[in-house]
Structure 1
Amino acid sequence: MSDALSLLQQRHSAPSRQLGEPAPDPATLRTLLEAAIRVPDHGKLVPFRLITLRGAAKLKFGAQLAERAIRRHPELPESKREKERRRYTFAPLVVAVIARLDHDSGVPEIEQKLCAGNVAYNILLGAYALGFGAQWLTGWAAYDPEVATLLGLAANECVIGFVHLGTPQTDIPDRDRPALGDVLSEWQG
């Protein structure tokens, strides 16, 4: 079996709270992201862009998201408030994958979003191939207009996901996967 198929059969997400240093160094990250943006792109629109969050800026972003979460839901129990406060303190690097939609294009919006989603997935695959851990998260923040403003998104942009990257600090067991027979059928006409 090829190494590439073996990689697909073994890849799994590492929970962001179990990711720590090191993150990919700048040269490795550049190589990873250059590979990740090689995705199917109907119309060659490049309907995506990336924003990296690291260090003090990542922590500041996380703190602002926690404040926003509490403003949105003042009744939030303290345990969930603490979860929001800590969300961006674990993985040393987060890559926000942004869909940049061309509404005047003949390419359906869903295809443009799927293109950006492929970038996020390629980051997961590439990170795993390089020996790092990664988790693609969305949650409320991916859909919140104040978070979009905080990230400086244009009106035609939206968050596809926040990919948390780092080195797993513990062994990460794989989760149960569906049996192929449960999801595969053949159309008979």
Structure 2
Amino acid sequence: MSGSLSLLQQRHSVPSRQLGEPAPDEATLHALLEAAIRVPDHGKLVPFRLIRLQEEAKLRFGERLTAIAIRNSPDMSEAKLEKERLRYTFAPLVMVVVACLHADSKVPEIEQKLCAGNVAYNILLGAYALGYGAQWLTGWAAYDREVATILGLAEDEHVIGFIHLGTPQLEVPDRDRPVLADLLGTWTP
């Protein structure tokens, strides 16, 4: 059985700064995303969508976010501004996973967000299975409504995460993981 679980046992994030070319080609990316959207979806709402950032668009997106950062924190250091500007440029591809919430549904909002979160996690798993690296990041931009407007999100849409994809440029050691015995309990009446 452990062979069947090896993907889950070995998957780890690769920092976006350590992701380089190549990204998945168009056919591989399409297959990866087709697999990633096969998630539990109570009510069959499809409460998610994807936005691709690549090539020059990644830098332009970072520049727009830098302008927001300057307005929000005019005293931000040049180093931090440069970090904002370049944040999305390291990995060759960034997928934005968006939750599309249906307020009129009987399905609770949290379940809809979890559905979209499963899409993000499936992208991470799928990328690892295909030999690529990935990192799921959020940061302030994921929660900022002005950034949502830049991305063309509707009022009922929210960024779940920015999934940075590419080929690992360095071997990344796994981090310490929690101990199951510390987390698992048994309920008894």
Q: Which TM-score band applies after superposition, normalised by the shorter structure?
A: over 0.9
- Counting only pairs closer than 5 Å after superposition, residues 32-111 of structure 1 correspond to structure 2 as 32-111=32-111
Q: Distance in 2 between matches of 1:66 and 1:126?
A: 31
Give per-residue Cα distances to partners, 1:138-168, cap 9 Å, x unaligned: 1100011110000000111110001000011
Q: Distance in 1 between matches of 2:17 and 2:153?
A: 26
Q: Distance in 1 between matches of 2:29 and 2:55?
A: 15
Shift of 1:2: 4.8
Residue 97 of structure 1 aligns to a residue in which SS? Answer: strand
Shift of 1:89: 1.4
Shift of 1:52: 0.5
| Poorly superposed stretches of 4+, deviation over 6 Å | none
Q: Give the letter for the 2:16 counterpart.
A: S
Shift of 1:70: 2.2
Whether 2:174 is the aligned partner of 1:187: answer no
The two structures have a TM-score, normalised by structure 2, of 0.97
The gaps in structure 2 that reach 5 residues or longer are none
Count of residue pairs the alignment pairs up: 189
Give per-residue Cα distances to partners, 1:91-149, cap 9 Å, x unaligned: 01000000001100000000000000000000000000000000001110001111000
Whether 2:184 is the aligned partner of 1:175: answer no
Residue 110 of structure 1 aligns to a residue in which SS? Answer: helix
Give per-residue Cα distances to partners, 1:60-82, cap 9 Å, x unaligned: 11211122122211122232222
Q: Distance in 1 between matches of 2:83 and 2:183?
A: 34
What is the RMSD of the two structures over their aligned residues, measured on CA atoms?
Answer: 1.0
Q: Distance in 2 between matches of 1:69 and 1:180?
A: 40
The two structures have a TM-score, normalised by structure 1, of 0.97
Q: Distance in 2 between matches of 1:23 and 1:67?
A: 28
The corresponding residue for 2:144 is: 144
Percent identical pairs in the alignment equals 75
The gaps in structure 1 that reach 5 residues or longer are none
Whether 2:26 is the aligned partner of 1:26: answer yes
Residue 121 of structure 1 aligns to a residue in which SS? Answer: helix
Residue 167 of structure 1 aligns to a residue in which SS? Answer: strand
Deviates more, 1:127-136 or 1:84-93: 84-93
The corresponding residue for 2:133 is: 133
Q: Distance in 1 between matches of 2:84 and 2:184?
A: 38
The corresponding residue for 2:7 is: 7
